[in-house]
Amino acid sequence: MKKKIISGVLAILMGAMLIGCGAKTETTTQNTTNDKLNITVSIYPLKEFVEKIGGDKVEVTCLVPENMEPHDYEPKTKDFEALTKSKAFIYNGLGMESWVDQVNEVIKGKDVVILDSSTGVEARKEGNAVDPHIWLSLKNAEIQSENIKNTLVKLDENNKDYYEENYNEFKGELENLYNEYKPKFDTLSKKNFITGHAAFGYLCRDFGLTQKSVENLFADGEPTPKQLEDLVNFCKENNIKTVFSESLASPKVSETLAKEVGAKVVPIMTLESKEDDKSYIEAIRYNLDEIYKCLSEESNKAE
């Protein structure tokens, strides 16, 4: 049903586009007037990456509204209109945006550069599904940011040095945060933690950790009684006293698990939307700090 609705919207919009070249003319005028690159991104973390690198040379629009799961988002006509006025459309990739093919079809043939920011990232799987949550890895965020930087340079070579400088500064922030926490996690004997949904696999890969989750990659189904029983047993056997819960996922099952094993529920950020008014670096630092405190306590108890 959703595909039919989207297809109908696309047909109407594409028909309107055939009337003339007004959208392209308007784009050119707007960019000339504002002297900024109009960039559209799919999800929030990409918006911040573009703004960090593009600085005052870019104007960034995010398709997925704040406080909405990207998996639940459906493009609307006004979103497509904004896309046709952009110089680039940057999306996460790896299946994060189930609707991206329809969007790319709308802007195909237009003067819009399309970037899959996951290019060059080594994808991981959770069961049979590809994990799209690559931005939660500092290492992957560096790759995504470099792809974005290269796209901005392609669009605006006159400001290449500016974009390179901003990218290198942001890259330094990412590397400094990684180098701060990697030695900390390396010293811990306990490296397993419990999350609301399986979004932190890439972060775990960065730091040699393991997540066990209440819900799957896309938080679209509650665990079976057997899966919940296994989680309860795992928590009890490993004396786990913290269950992390994401703000955009349902806290119900996480709270049920925590109550069952006598654990506390601690918020953690997936950054699929801007949370607590924290920047990307601040939010990742918060996550790493909370996970480290949890594992450090459990490691000390085990000694």
CATH of the domain at 59: 3.40.50.1980
The pLDDT assigned to 93 comes to 96
Packing angle of the helix pair 160-186, 44-54 (nearest 10 deg): 130
- For residue 211, CA distances in Å to 137, 185, 229 come to 14, 14, 17
196/156 same-domain check: no
Is the separation of the CB atoms in 93 and 117 below 8 Å?
yes
Among 153, 179, 205, residue at a domain's last position: 179
85/211 same-domain check: no
More confident call, 145 vs 225: 145
pLDDT above 70 coverage of the chain, percent: 86
Is the separation of the CB atoms in 64 and 273 below 8 Å?
yes
Closest CA to 261 of 229, 292, 235, 297: 235
Among 179, 207, 234, residue at a domain's last position: 179
Residue with tokens 């909405």: 68
Chain Cα centroid distance, residue 295: 24
β-pair type (242-246, 210-215): unpaired
**Residue 288 above 70 pLDDT?**
yes
Q: What is the extent of the structural domain holding 64? A: 2-179
16/109 same-domain check: yes
User: What would the pLDDT profile of 161-182 be if each residue is shown by its tens digit?
Assistant: 999 999 999 999 999 999 999 9
The pLDDT assigned to 79 comes to 85
Q: How far apart are the C-alpha atoms of 32 and 28, rounded to whole Å?
A: 6
39/156 same-domain check: yes
The pLDDT assigned to 140 comes to 98
The pLDDT assigned to 302 comes to 67
Q: How far apart are the C-alpha atoms of 102 and 6, rounded to whole Å?
A: 8
Q: How far apart are the C-alpha atoms of 72 and 203, rounded to whole Å?
A: 23
**Residue 133 above 90 pLDDT?**
yes
**Exposure string for 92-101, b = 16+ CB within 10 A, e = fewer:** bbbbbbebbe
Total domain count, the chain: 2
174/221 same-domain check: no
More confident call, 108 vs 33: 108
DSSP per residue over 97-116, as a string?
Answer: -TTHHHHHHHHTTSS-EEEE
Is the separation of the CB atoms in 135 and 141 below 8 Å?
yes
Q: How far apart are the C-alpha atoms of 266 and 264, rounded to whole Å?
A: 6
The pLDDT assigned to 34 comes to 62
**Residue 89 above 50 pLDDT?**
yes
50/164 same-domain check: yes
157/239 same-domain check: no
State the pTM of this model: 0.85
Among 179, 201, 229, residue at a domain's last position: 179
77/192 same-domain check: no
Q: Which residues pair with 210 in a beta bridge?
A: 192
69/211 same-domain check: no
174/197 same-domain check: no
Q: Which helix (H) or strand (E) holds 40?
A: strand 37-41
Label residue 303 by pLDDT band (50, 70, 90).
Answer: low
235/159 same-domain check: no
Chain Cα centroid distance, residue 39: 17
User: What would the pLDDT profile of 111-128 be if each residue is shown by its tens digit?
Assistant: 999 999 999 999 999 888
The pLDDT assigned to 224 comes to 81
pLDDT above 90 coverage of the chain, percent: 56
Q: What is the mean pLDDT of residues 69-94?
A: 88
The pLDDT assigned to 7 comes to 47
**Residue 138 above 50 pLDDT?**
yes
- For residue 154, CA distances in Å to 160, 198, 240 come to 8, 35, 49
Written as one letter, the residue type at 43 is: I
84/202 same-domain check: no
